[in-house]
Amino acid sequence: MKIYKSLDGSLFLMGFGAALFFSSCASDVMMFPVPHQPRVLSQTADGGARVFNYALVDAIERADQIVVREHSHPGDFSGVSLGRGNTPVYIYASKDLSPGERVLFSEGVRGMSNQSSVADRGCSFVSHHTIDFYERGSLSSRMKVSYKCSEVQWNGSSGKPSKDVFKVITPLIKRAGMIPHRDWKQVAEQQFEADGVHSPLDKKPVLGGGVPTAEWAPGEVGKKVLNPFTKQLVDVEGIPAGTKVRDPNDKDQSHIFKIPSL
């Protein structure tokens, strides 16, 4: 059980199963249930940023592991013909926060204002950074960060993010060696070309190369092949022979193979 003191002098008691907020008035006591997965605190009448801040500090301190990632977004591949469900996910950088970095993260959140940020309703949320919180080896919550919209979305609390959230998130991302603003479409295209799966410049399938050729699944010639790495069925109907592809259900992005001839 831990007791925290907020900027307004209120005491916040955080325990294993529940969180209690005590104001300066003895009669003003509210309880927020804190289940293991997902741990979402209830909205309060103060606008929600206070709930968000408390929940985030709790998530940081309860997590066994916090991982910051910089990655592609499906929108980066607009105009590139990939086939349904074949949009790749590129992880450009990944950083497991050290104990010191977690302390800086927690202290930064403690200093955030309890005033909520205002989301731009006309902005299409596009995230290229995520912060994953793990407890007991399992993902407990995920925060998506959109610099395009200056907005974060976190499923660890129903409270609204503080207006100061980027004052904490941006230094965290930079300390992890990542870049908040980039030409994400160009980065994705360069990675795409390096993979040799498709060329986003001419949008034509790339043939040949030193990758294995899949085999047709029994009775499924022209429709389904066996992933040579996992032996799982992959629907490739309509894709030309020799085209390099990746099984969307195979988590290993290096598992690229070619479509066999009929």
Q: What is the pLDDT of residues 132-187, one digit of tens each?
A: 999 988 899 999 999 999 999 999 998 899 999 999 999 999 998 999 998 998 88
- Nearest C-alpha neighbor of 167 from the set 120, 242, 107: 107
Q: Which helix (H) or strand (E) holds 62?
A: helix 49-62
Residue keyed to tokens 């800086």: 104
**116 in Cβ contact with 161 (< 8 Å):** yes
How far from the centroid of its chain's Cα atoms is residue 188's Cα? 17
pLDDT, tens only, 201-211 = 333 333 334 57
User: What pLDDT is recorded for position 81?
Assistant: 52
Cβ within 8 Å of residue 98, ≥6 positions away: none
The pLDDT assigned to 256 comes to 84
Q: Which pTM was predicted?
A: 0.58
pLDDT given at position 208: 39
Tell me what pLDDT residue 19 has.
37
pLDDT at position 80: 57
With a cut of 50, which residues of the chain have pLDDT below it? 1-46, 83-84, 197-209
H or E segment to which residue 66 belongs: strand 65-71
- Integer Cα distance of 216 and 222 in angstroms: 7
pLDDT of residue 195: 65
Rounded CA separation 257/42 (Å) = 48
